[in-house]
Amino acid sequence: MIPEYLIRALLASVMVSVLLGMLSPLINTKGLAFLTHAIFHALLLGAVLGMIFGLLLDNLSLVMLVALVVTVAVVLIIAHLEKLGFSSDSAVGIVASFVAGLTVLGFGVLYKVMAGKPYFPLSQSIVSYLTGEIFLITLNDLTVLVFGGALLFFVMLFLYRDFLYLSFDPDGLESYGGNTRAYLMILYVLVGAIGALIVQTVGLITLQVVAVLPGAIALMVRSDLRKVIGVSLFLTLGIQLSSVILAYFTDIPPSGLATIMLGVIYGVLLFRR
């Protein structure tokens, strides 16, 4: 009989695969790989702040909500800086440096809050947030992931063609009445929201890899955009499900297995060129 926690992990993997499989080609075609680096810092800051508020209010379910709010706020600031004329790399670098500093300060506050509380295994929660805790996902977590993921998926699907035009022909999009800045801001928010939604299942350390490599691999083997999306979806689904199954038998974190498999595939394709 299949354990219930394994079924929840597999269902979560399917939702994560759909979101990342669709998002990864956009990240690569628009050149947003560096943005995911800023999202890494924002999610960590959001998690630290969420743990502080969670301990003070005795409600650790606030971690995901605070991480989502902080991440969306960070990507909106980056988009606003680009609107003011900063390059994408400069905007991300400026914001990421401030966020990194705030994260260090946040850890200092977190340790002081923890010191004033009775023994609480929060260190395990921090490690799980960094490495992923897909086997510990609860039914409530899965419900939030499915419904939140479905909402983000349909928004992304509805605007997907516009996002592609934004990547390849922003001037053409403007000529047809499209607002490139608005689309760019929506895309940034989607990247941040999806990252905040799935980070507890894939792990903060490996999030950037699993968000970037599937699309990069798909672009290496296919040129037609529909096939690129198909390869990205199929690859992400296969990697996520196989990593969960292997982790079940080996007790190795599935996020680490997924990252290694993606890295091997990417490396093999590079050497074959």
User: What distance in Å separates the CA atoms of residue 265 and residue 105, rounded to the nearest whole number?
Assistant: 38
Structure tokens at 170: 């922003």
User: What distance in Å separates the CA atoms of residue 21 and residue 24, rounded to the nearest whole number?
Assistant: 6
Q: Which helix (H) or strand (E) holds 61?
A: none
What domains sit in the chain, N to C, each tagged with a CATH number?
A: 4-204 (1.10.3470.10)
Contact 204, 20 (CB under 8 A): no
The reported pTM is: 0.86
Give the residues of the chain that fall short of pLDDT 70.
1, 60, 117-128, 171, 173-178, 273
What pLDDT, on a 0 to 100 scale, did the predictor assign at position 262? 92
